Structures are given as C-alpha cells and as structure tokens.
C-alpha cells in the first residue's frame, strides 16, 4: 500500500549558457614552452612620457604590440624562485584586477621544471626553470640598457622600475 503519491514528476534542470558549459568541460592541455623570451616595447603616446613595457613571448610567437599584456617583473622574479600564486600578468597601472586577473598564476617547481597554471585564463605552461631564469636575466639587462640610453623612459607598471634599479646596482 502506498501512502504518498506525487501527482507530478519534479526535477530541476539548470542549463548553463553554452560558453560556461564549454569552459567547464574543457580539458587543459599544458603548453610545453620550448623557448621563452621577455621582450621590451617602448610605448609612445602624444603628450606623455615614453613607457617601457615588458611582455612574455612563448615558442617564438610575437606578442601584440598594440595591446601588450603587461608583466610584473617582481612577481615573475619571485615565481622563478618559489612555489605559490603570483600575479605575473597585470595592467599598465599595476593592478592585476584591472586587467581581469583575479586568481593569478599557480606556480609549482619540480626538479628542473616549472609549471604555471594561469587560473584566470585556464591555461597551463611547462618551462625548463633554467630557460625562464635566463629569459628573466636577459630581460633585466636589456631593460637597463633601454632606461640608460633613453632619458625620461619610465617602466610600467611602476613595480618594474625597482627591479631594473636593483639589478643595476
């Protein structure tokens, strides 16, 4: 004998928008970085001082000079030395959230490899730690040359200027 009987079938069917379903179901395939470079761009705006911008380039793919993805060199330097979450990409103003970076890059070192999981873009990168360190050292030397030979050139974001200054001492 059945005491309770529901007259209708009750179910909840939430359907996420397609963009979210694709994003959630996507498997992250790590990009193995065979070559890493930090390139400098001099950004000139009428009536403004010239700015020195550092951008990351992987596997010889050139970054977009018209809309560069700024990097924070102090965060990058720290990420080479230790595990943790770092805000490597940032806005020209220096606030990662202004560039849509809220979760940062999770960095894990294992033997001679460094793995980055950019949680904001849902991307993974695998580097040889020595290659990343070499690219950083070359970039600092190159940035110092730019600054020494172009009076009034300002590094952006502001967090980058002390990295160039300390390395030059």
Segment 124-169, tens digit of pLDDT: 999 999 999 999 999 999 999 999 999 889 999 999 999 998 755 5
Query: Rounded to an integer, what distance in angstroms lies between the CA atom of residue 32 and that of residue 54?
Result: 21
Mean pLDDT over the full length of the chain: 87
Domain ranges of the chain: 30-168
Query: Which of 8-12, 116-120, 130-134 shows the lowest per-residue confidence on average (mean pLDDT)?
Result: 8-12
pLDDT of residue 2 exceeding 50? no
Record the tokens describing residue 153, joined without a space.
């050139």
Query: Rounded to an integer, what distance in angstroms lies between the CA atom of residue 84 and that of residue 117?
Result: 11
């Amino acid at each position: 004998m059945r005491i309770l009987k529901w007259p209708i079938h009750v179910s909840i069917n939430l359907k996420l928008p397609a963009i979210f379903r694709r994003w959630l179901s996507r498997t992250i395939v790590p990009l193995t970085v065979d070559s890493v470079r930090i390139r400098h761009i001099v950004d000139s705006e009428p009536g403004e001082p010239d700015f020195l911008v550092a951008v990351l380039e992987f596997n010889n793919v050139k970054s977009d000079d018209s809309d560069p993805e700024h990097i924070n060199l102090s965060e990058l330097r720290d990420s080479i030395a230790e595990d943790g979450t770092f805000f490597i990409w940032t806005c020209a103003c220096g606030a990662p959230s202004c560039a849509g970076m809220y979760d940062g890059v999770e960095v894990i070192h294992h033997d001679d490899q460094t793995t980055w999981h950019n949680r904001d873009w849902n991307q993974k990168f695998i580097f040889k730690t020595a290659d990343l360190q070499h690219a950083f050292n070359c970039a600092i030397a190159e940035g110092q040359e730019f600054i020494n030979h172009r009076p009034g050139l300002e590094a952006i974001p502001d967090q980058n200027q002390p990295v160039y200054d300390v390395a030059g001492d």
